Amino acid sequence: MSRNPECQICALEVGDNAYVCQRCARGLARNLGDVASLAEEVETSHLRQSRMAKSAGVGIVLHVAEEDRPLPYSDRAVLRRRELREVLSGHCAIVSEIRGVRAPRQDVASLSQFLLNHVEWLRHRENAADIQREIEYAIHGLRRAIDLPPERLFAGPCGAVDFACQLEHDHEQDSAACVETPVPGSPPCTGSLFGRSSKATHVVCDTCGSRQEYADRRDWLLKAVEDQLDYAARLSQALSNLGRPVNDATIRKWAERGRLVAHSVDERGRPLYRVGDVMDLITEDARRAQKKAAS
């Protein structure tokens, strides 16, 4: 029985015996090709908190690696990556069984590359349109999760210790007041502090529940990451979340004019700038603007 030679996705003429046209198949290939970098972005964001050294109550030591950065991250992206892996894994299993080829490793980068090598075969499947829509929906979900603002704002390690009430008597006023003092030998909490957004006034520990002023924690974060390196777009987002708004185009312009020097490049060739250098230029330009306004 003959079938309608139209693409099941865009309704254009297919031109061969496939169910999806070559143009739509190329769109699937482009999306599959983006998966590895999207997954790496999620891994980078997720690990920058967990690899941070524990605070000893006095100071903190941070790893220097590019991914070890205690800046805001979205756990929403981790869930979307997991959903994408399940979708890709299911289709890879079908391809492997029908075509008699070895299944790939179960990470999203390997799964997407495997399907990328079988896009032409997939478009000849009777349910090719459903396969493509399901895969692209999952990829777009991960992309949106990465682009969205973080659900929670990471504000560093807690470090709180147990306090006890110690009564201090005021003999002149004939009264007593409770003064909280640290319990001797109490270990600092190893939990992490989170706020709802960059506008939060307080942050709360996810382990002991203690509350701390976000302004103090924000200053700590800015100090802790000043020697870290990152590319313009992520520097703009992170510093803006930490109360130092700056446009990524401004960062690139500083570099073009020689005011900002790249210390390295990432795996995609993007120049990496030192956080502290960018903060110094933000402060310098703010002072210039104030002087200009005053004159």
pLDDT score for 161: 60
Rounded-to-integer distance, Cα 246 and Cα 233, Å:
10
Prediction pTM value: 0.47
- Report how far residue 17's alpha carbon sits from residue 112's, in angstroms, rounded to the nearest whole number: 25
pLDDT at 171: 57
pLDDT confidence of residue 69: 37
Which two tokens mark 269? Answer: 């060739």
Q: How large is the C-alpha radius of gyration of the chain?
A: 26
Q: What is the pLDDT of residue 174?
A: 62
Q: Give the residues of the chain that fall short of pLDDT 50.
A: 1, 48-73
| pLDDT score, position 79 | 82
Beta strand pairing call for 163-170 and 211-213: unpaired
For residues 179, 180, 184, 189, the Cα torsion angle rounded to the nearest 10 degrees is -170
What tens digit of pLDDT does each residue of 108-125 get?
999 999 999 999 999 999
Q: Give the residue among 228, 230, 241, 220 at the shortest CA–CA distance from 55.
A: 220
Q: Which amino acid is at 10?
A: C
Amino acid 97: pLDDT: 95
pLDDT tens-digit map of 20-57: 999 999 999 999 999 998 888 887 655 544 443 232 22
**What backbone phi and psi angles, to 5 degrees, belong to 42?**
-65, -45
pLDDT, residue 125, reads 94
